[in-house]
Structure 1
């Protein structure tokens, strides 16, 4: 009988091709050689559903993840994320902000990370007093109020995305929406500060990197292209998008090479608490300057929230709902309800994919993540 330790790398690499991501991750924890084999790209890992970054455990301070594929939780020690609020996920990397309002970009499974420069000024009238309370205009009350730094860390950046995987390309770009108006700004490796993009009209809803360009969406139904030359600015493109009802959030999706807009409709259940009641999917055709409404998504599933757009072929995953839109909490709110669910575009119903009640906290608002340890 041959000992496991004597198996050649070729054989071990072939074995890893049959392993799910959690099993492959455990495989790499056996020894240094197996860890090296587990990262081999010769045999790609089996397809996987996104993970949900759930919360930080109070006692261990480990970050808890939930795998849709096997309906299990995994707690992983990631010291760099201690006390940080996650406000973006892109290409398997997380964008996190701490109580000092500083940010990092980190791959939670390889522990590679980039320290990011101080954020741009998010409010010209902001004033920090001796009790470390921040005075800024309220998103909900229509006037000034006091925010603690714990609350501010979820409001300073509403979303962050990447143009490319930093492991694949060193010339990637981080684009954020920051401050009360979700103003766009970008950073590239080597930059000493963020560069603010001018030209927005009203608060922005979402940003996306699509076919070599960044696009941004405004609630006043304007789709922008981020034009970097000669000075970074937003340039209006495409048709105006008419929205009926209370579309609390909208998401831009790169779906098989099509740019889609997903509208999220909500109802207010208490004074400052809202819950999701449905979605619409629209394709803005930039060339013909018209809109197309989609009634299904060809058996795929979408995952929306603070993450860059994610879609999977649901037929490859027995536990994944076809034509389903998996959603997390409303962005940047500690007053949201337990609002995680799946919207079925076929019968227009909403169901749960997660049995545990989850409410937004300064370090625990769930975010979708596609693991990228290889």
Structure 2
């Protein structure tokens, strides 16, 4: 029996609006608006949704009572990680259909005009190439999957607007100067249909202080025990979780800003803890440094940064209430970027190796193998690597 042809253009407007509000990804909105005329008029473009990044915030130091009054605001900038695969690389014969199709990890930051700037997913630096436009990326030639969002606080160093029209827009996305002392920024809920003042933003700054803020606040609110040092924070299963230096994970109750213990102390001997979610489970990556971390000024020399010498990976056994030390990650690769931590399947990316941790230290990209505890410089690796260099076909296809 032949399949029945469905006329998607005949769906009622009320149902299309429901479908549109369930789309959080800009790419999903673009694909849906491309179905037909009725879908295009029922689902507004992603540029019409709120919030419009970058969002203005006070300096994180405003949370400290002894800090001087901030003279200038900072800006919350958003970037997106995608898995991009050329369609013409997909197998066409049934005999080769079992082969895993590999792609590249692409990180982009969208400006107010819709231009996408390519970023290095690890150190978060912008590539020196012409910006591309999402609308000019032919989705018939590429399979694009949104993986996650990442956020940073930066100083606004954009050139002043030259006309009244330019002043009506949000600040330009030339936010290249990072905020010294800010180690992590997370935001939730990650939905383009939520008003800017409904987003909850947490930041770790000043060597371990945790603060909460919303768009429009005059100052950040300090959260947690002031004597504690918090290393990392993520959104896990729709909730905020933070880990302190000793490996205790806390759940943050957003209504009261109270920290509720979620796990036993890890008691790992490493110098820095990273939170990681992989396949629905919670992990802590314990980083070992060659010397203790300390407060550093803006003009610190690269050779004075502590260097990574080892990693230990622990998986939380929620039922048993304990941490399990892992000897292998299987085909998974953990990525410790400067603005977010995430895991990927090595089988999906060109040049990516499983059972490895990719990280930046200091300001350079490296890979750590759990198999033999070796550390290699990615620049010296012979194999193509998806986290370091954007494929030439992406920029050339959008020139």
Aligned to 1:224: 250
Task: Please tell me whether residue 257 in structure 1 is matched to residue 280 in structure 2.
Answer: yes
Aligned to 1:177: 204
Q: Alpha carbon RMSD of aligned pairs, Å? A: 4.4
How far apart in 2 are the matches of 1:154 and 1:46? 32
Provide closer, same or farther for how the CA distance between residues 243 and 114 of structure 1 changes in structure 2, counting only shifts above 3 A. Answer: farther
Aligned to 1:65: 119
How far apart in 2 are the matches of 1:351 and 1:228? 40
Task: Answer yes or no: is the 8 Å Cα contact 1:261–1:283 preserved in 2.
Answer: yes
Q: Secondary structure at the match of 2:31?
A: coil
Q: Secondary structure at the match of 1:75?
A: coil
Task: Answer yes or no: is the 8 Å Cα contact 2:333–2:344 preserved in 1.
Answer: yes
Provide closer, same or farther for how the CA distance between residues 315 and 163 of structure 1 changes in structure 2, counting only shifts above 3 A. Answer: same
Task: Answer yes or no: is the 8 Å Cα contact 1:252–1:262 preserved in 2.
Answer: yes
Instruction: Map residues 47-126 of structure 1 onto 2, 5 A cutoff.
Output: 49-51=104-106, 65-66=119-120, 73-76=127-130, 91-98=148-155
Task: Answer yes or no: is the 8 Å Cα contact 1:260–1:283 preserved in 2.
Answer: yes
Task: Answer yes or no: is the 8 Å Cα contact 1:65–1:74 preserved in 2.
Answer: no
The answer for unaligned runs of 5 or more in structure 1 is 1-34, 54-61, 79-89, 101-111, 116-149, 330-335, 357-365
Q: Secondary structure at the match of 1:205?
A: strand
Report how many residues are paired: 249
How far apart in 2 are the matches of 1:233 and 1:367? 39
Aligned to 1:204: 230
Task: Answer yes or no: is the 8 Å Cα contact 1:305–1:327 preserved in 2.
Answer: yes
How far apart in 2 are the matches of 1:36 and 1:232? 34
Task: Answer yes or no: is the 8 Å Cα contact 1:99–1:153 preserved in 2.
Answer: no
Provide closer, same or farther for how the CA distance between residues 195 and 305 of structure 1 changes in structure 2, counting only shifts above 3 A. Answer: same
The TM-score with structure 1 as length reference comes to 0.55
Task: Please tell me whether residue 353 in structure 1 is matched to residue 378 in structure 2.
Answer: yes
How far apart in 2 are the matches of 1:36 and 1:276? 37
Instruction: State the 1:153 CA deviation.
Output: 3.0
* Bigger Cα Rg: 2
Provide closer, same or farther for how the CA distance between residues 306 and 45 of structure 1 changes in structure 2, counting only shifts above 3 A. Answer: closer
Task: Answer yes or no: is the 8 Å Cα contact 1:307–1:367 preserved in 2.
Answer: no
Q: Secondary structure at the match of 1:40?
A: helix
Task: Answer yes or no: is the 8 Å Cα contact 1:301–1:321 preserved in 2.
Answer: yes
Aligned to 1:280: 312
Provide closer, same or farther for how the CA distance between residues 96 and 280 of structure 1 changes in structure 2, counting only shifts above 3 A. Answer: same
How far apart in 2 are the matches of 1:63 and 1:168? 23
Provide closer, same or farther for how the CA distance between residues 113 and 196 of structure 1 changes in structure 2, counting only shifts above 3 A. Answer: farther
Greater strand share, 1 or 2? 1
How far apart in 1 are the matches of 2:251 and 2:305? 33
The answer for unaligned runs of 5 or more in structure 2 is 1-25, 36-81, 86-102, 109-115, 133-146, 158-168, 293-301, 382-386, 395-399
Instruction: State the 1:224 CA deviation.
Output: 1.4
Provide closer, same or farther for how the CA distance between residues 289 and 113 of structure 1 changes in structure 2, counting only shifts above 3 A. Answer: farther
Aligned to 2:98: none
The TM-score with structure 2 as length reference comes to 0.51
Task: Please tell me whether residue 238 in structure 1 is matched to residue 263 in structure 2.
Answer: yes
Instruction: State the 1:96 CA deviation.
Output: 2.9
Task: Answer yes or no: is the 8 Å Cα contact 1:67–1:73 preserved in 2.
Answer: no
Instruction: State the 1:160 CA deviation.
Output: 0.4
Task: Answer yes or no: is the 8 Å Cα contact 1:238–1:287 preserved in 2.
Answer: no
Provide closer, same or farther for how the CA distance between residues 328 and 77 of structure 1 changes in structure 2, counting only shifts above 3 A. Answer: same
Q: Kindly provide the CA deviation profile for residues 81-136 of structure 1, in whole angstroms up to 9, marking residues without a partner as x.
A: xxxxxxxxx94344232289xxxxxxxxxxx9789xxxxxxxxxxxxxxxxxxxxx
